[in-house]
Amino acid sequence: MLEPSPGIVLELVEGNSLFQIIHGERGESFMQYQRRLPWPVRLRYLLDSSYGLRAVHNSGILHGDFKTLNLLVGADQRVKVADFGLSKVLDALSVLPGTKTITGTPQYMAPEVMKSQPQGMRVDVYSLAIVMWELLSGQIPWKGMDIVQIIQQVTEKANEVKGRPPPGRPAINHLHYQSAPPGYIQLMQECWAQHPNDRPSTDICVQHLEAIQRNQRSAAQHFGGLGGMGGMGGMGGG
């Protein structure tokens, strides 16, 4: 007689990954990207992703491979966190011992993972920062680099100047600074801090992102929806 086997029923998300949405138009300029995905839309995607990651962490789970390919955007334009193949059960204050085998996606991988050091929930917060940069720039992080080059950038060059933002991170240019909502780049830089203890929790990330979204909506109302922001008021926050 066969024993009953456990099964998992998952929601079917019909749509694209956030990676496909960001990078779906080849050869477009930064301004074209901005028009195609205005900030209200990007902030909604990011907040949904952050809500999902916060729920994962509050359930005592480290995702371990948080990236735009694993963020699925459904027909309702809401984002779901997917692919828990590398996830681990972990208390919020605990850390996993480092291992000799590096797992995950190098472009989104925190320095402590690359250096086989103890790893906690802040590993995912670093990955969230790379997702923030991807949404900011419309570019693929570390495009054209192999894993060795990425590791050198993130772990070695980041230590060149102490007390300053790590240079071993994806580039932020003047167009990014001009276009980003107030507080966005600062939060992103805090999330990709070299040391895990210097990164905020997902709860703090969500609070800051909600404030950024509120300020965006207030600005849109103040300026009467000019500059392509007229649809802001109808965007959901999660």
Catalytic residues: 65
- The DSSP line for the chain is -PPPPP--------SEEHHHHHT-STT--HHHHHHHS-HHHHHHHHHHHHHHHHHHHHTTEE-S--SGGGEEE-TTS-EEE---TT-EE--TT--BPP-SS--S-GGG--HHHHTT--B-THHHHHHHHHHHHHHHH-S-TTTT--HHHHHIIIIIGGGSSTTS--SSS----HHHHHHSPTTHHHHHHHHT-SSGGGSPPHHHHHHHHHHHHHHHHHHHHHTTTTTTTTTGGG----
CB 85 within 8 A of CB 104: no
Phi then psi dihedrals of residue 17, to 5 deg: -75, 160
Contacts of 144 (CB under 8 A, 6+ apart): none
